[in-house]
Homo-oligomer: A and B are copies of this chain.
């Protein structure tokens, strides 16, 4: 088997920096974790908050702390620092080779989608952001690592796209239409979701948008881990 992770991420129009922070890190007992936070103020302040949350979570994960405990710790730290005035969403998707599961940790009113073949489930139980109060609980979902599983995670920029024009996106329908194609790559799914949102915002995203796809395939191939990053650079003074 192989787990493939794809990320597509864009900043709000006319801002140089996304308020969303995303990192992919190795887990100390094998596997990787994707950690995504969206700080709910704007501009540079939002970035500082989401960076603080992600940095704290990846530091704890690196020490072997469980995902849910890391989310709670980040929430307590944010609440202590900002007394509920600044909050942040958090999504963690961990491929845990110890438990042989994918562990999804959610502190985000935006749901996640879990797809298996034709079946597309929207995990939309109530989930509140970090820093709102003491004792914020993450919503934890643990899934066996098995071929055909596709998980879709995103920040609220995807949901808000098109809303100012009264044309919100039907995320579930877009996922379904892409998955009906023959075995789309996770990058193709991430890119399609992001492109549709940006298009609904008339190419001027009204908010930062991040999309993460985790897909398990049955591929028998080499035993090489691969990673690639593409970082567009605009407006450099040369």
Nearest B residue to A48 via CB reads B28
Given A62-B55, A100-B236, A236-B100, A4-B230 contact (CB < 8 Å)? yes
**A19 CB to nearest chain B CB (Å):** 12
Among candidates B2, B10, B236, residue contacting A225 with C-beta atoms closer than 8 Å? B10
CB neighbours of A62 from chain B (8 A):
51, 55
Residues of B within 8 A of A190 (CB): 226
Known: A26-B23, A28-B51, A51-B62. Contact between A225 and B4, CB under 8 A? no
Q: How many residues of A contact B (CB 8 A)?
A: 58
A186 to B229, CA, bound (A): 10
Decide yes or no: A26 and B51 within 8 Å by CB, A2-B230, A223-B232 being known contacts: yes
CB of A173 within 8 A of chain B? Answer: no
- State whether B1 touches A236 (Cβ < 8 A): yes
Contact A231 B100 (CB under 8 A): no
Q: Are A4 and B51 in contact (CB under 8 A)?
A: no
| Residue A184 is within 8 A (CB to CB) of chain B in the complex | no
- Asked whether any CB of chain B lies closer than 8 Å to the CB of A222, the reply is yes
| New A-B pairs, 15, CB < 8 Å, besides A7-B227, A145-B236 | A1-B236, A2-B230, A4-B229, A5-B228, A6-B227, A18-B225, A21-B26, A100-B236, A146-B238, A187-B226, A190-B226, A223-B234, A226-B229, A227-B229, A227-B230
B-chain residues with CB within 8 Å of residue A224 when the two chains form the complex = 8-10, 191, 194, 230, 232
- 0/1 per residue, A123-148, Cβ < 8 Å to B? 00000000000000000000011100
